Amino acid sequence: MKSNLFKQNAVSFVVGLVFAIGLAVSGMTQPQKIISFLNPSNWDASLLFVMLGALGVHLISYPLIRKRKSPLLETKWHIPTRQDVTARLVLGSALFGIGWGLAGFCPGPALTSLASGDVKSLLFVATMIFGMLLFKKTEAHLKLKE
């Protein structure tokens, strides 16, 4: 099992690498493209085609892979199974959306842009991490069901 853990880590690295290359190739590391996607009066459809490309692959690969009993390097699947719609899901997604439109960054492109040294991506990632920690600190006070 130990060597499998090593292989899993290697796969994770490659997945991160390919994902980041995909984001850059598709133009998603340019925040103005996201802002324009969210603006029909000056529409940039790039994100739509990125989604089509990604979903085009994964809509086919997902059911094929899930026919297997287990993943190649793991004994079990780690796939979310929840079906319940909660206030927390909607409110959290709304807050994310507001921030997304405000900066034109979502987590992936911001992390991919770090190595470019762009000050805005550095700042965004720093406050994003702070926001994540802040949620964990304040979660108990929100009285929102898990």
Q: How far apart are CA 34 and CA 45, in angstroms?
A: 9
Per CB under 8 A, 145 contacts another protein: no
Selected binder of another protein within 67, 76, 143, 145 (CB under 8 A): 76
Binding of another protein by 143 (CB under 8 A)? no
What Å distances lie between residue 61 and 54, 64, 136, CA to CA?
Answer: 11, 5, 34
- Binding status of residue 83 toward another protein by CB under 8 A: yes
Do residues 33 and 51 make contact, with C-beta atoms less than 8 angstroms apart? no
Q: Among residue numbers 36 through 75, which ones bind another protein (CB under 8 A)?
A: 38-41, 44-59, 61-62, 65-66, 70-74
Rule CB under 8 A: say whether 3 interacts with another protein.
no
Token pair of 62, please? 């997902």
Select the residue interacting with another protein from 80, 140, 141, 143 (CB under 8 A).
Answer: 80
Exposure on the CB side of residue 134, measured as CA atoms within 13 A: 6
Site string for another protein, 112-141 (x = CB under 8 A): xxxxx-xxxx-xxxxxxxxxxxxxx--x--
